[in-house]
């Protein structure tokens, strides 16, 4: 890298480390439900991440729109990848997961989502979002496996990103959730999808 600016000494043929493994850095476009953004990702042949809150069914037309737009623009359908990112918490039992997670998640939604207007998420809404057809992944390993596979049938995505550590959840609970994701959920999902669906976890920072 060679660069010159105002606030530090110039760089002359400076090395950049560590080097990326691949020749082109993977760039994903995250979309919360705007068709224009979905079409832009398709036209440019860039992978798409769907940030899902509420009901996943309403994102199925967006997945179709993305693939159709990308194909019409001349891109190889194999390169039109879709990922899904959702809020996530696991415990050995569904009720245990919801009892632990609800106060933290309720506060997180109230403090961070403009639509909440500072109000805590009510328990009824939490239960609805965490239900079999909601986008919140908060439950037992088998419950989460079933929901990931259902979303995969609905959207045909090939990557699932679990957003963890929400609302000031203690580290010990977050670490246990990630361990269950890695040891129980992902092996089952990969087995059921023939390895077509990958998964990972990321910590969400911000206000508790």
Residue 37 lies in a domain: yes
Residue 133 lies in a domain: yes
Residue 38 lies in a domain: yes
Residue 77 lies in a domain: yes
What's the domain count of the chain?
Answer: 1
CATH of the domain at 54: 3.20.20.30
pLDDT of 99 higher than 90 = yes
Q: What is the pLDDT of residue 196?
A: 82
Q: What is the pLDDT of residue 204?
A: 60
Q: For the residues 17-42, what does the mean pLDDT come to?
A: 87
- Tens digits of per-residue pLDDT, 158-172? 999 999 999 999 999
Average pLDDT, the chain: 90
Residue 120 lies in a domain: yes
Range of the domain at 194: 29-203
Residue 18 lies in a domain: no
Instruction: Tell me: cis bond preceding 18? Omega within 30 of 0 counts.
Output: yes
Residue 192 lies in a domain: yes
pLDDT level of residue 207 (50, 70, 90 thresholds): very low
pLDDT of 3 higher than 70 = yes
- Please give the backbone phi and psi of residue 137, each rounded to the nearest 5 degrees, phi first: -100, 95
Residue 67 lies in a domain: yes
Strand 159-164 relative to strand 82-90, pairing: parallel
d(CA 154, CA 52): 13
- Tens digits of per-residue pLDDT, 53-80? 889 999 999 999 999 999 999 999 999 9
Per-residue tokens: 39 = 């079409």
> Looking at the whole model, is its pTM more than 0.75?
yes
pLDDT of 89 higher than 80 = yes
């Amino acid at each position: 890298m060679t660069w010159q600016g105002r606030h530090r000494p110039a760089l002359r043929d400076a090395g950049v480390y560590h080097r990326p493994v691949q020749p082109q850095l993977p760039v994903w476009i995250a979309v919360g439900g705007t068709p224009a953004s979905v079409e832009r990702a398709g036209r440019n042949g860039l992978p798409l991440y769907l940030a899902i809150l509420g009901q996943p069914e309403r994102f199925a037309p967006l997945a179709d729109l993305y693939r159709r737009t990308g194909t019409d623009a001349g891109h190889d359908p194999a390169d039109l990848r879709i990922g899904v990112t959702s809020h996530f918490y696991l415990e050995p039992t569904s009720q245990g997961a919801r009892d632990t997670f609800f106060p933290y998640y309720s506060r997180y939604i109230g403090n961070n989502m403009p639509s909440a207007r500072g109000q805590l998420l009510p328990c009824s809404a939490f239960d609805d979002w965490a239900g079999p057809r909601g986008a919140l992944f908060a439950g037992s390993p088998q419950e989460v496996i079933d929901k990931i596979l259902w979303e995969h049938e609905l959207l045909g995505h090939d990557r699932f990103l679990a957003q963890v550590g929400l609302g000031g959840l203690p580290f010990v609970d977050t670490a246990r959730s990630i361990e269950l994701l890695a040891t129980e959920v992902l092996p089952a999902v990969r087995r059921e999808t023939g390895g077509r669906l990958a998964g990972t976890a990321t910590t969400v920072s911000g206000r508790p």
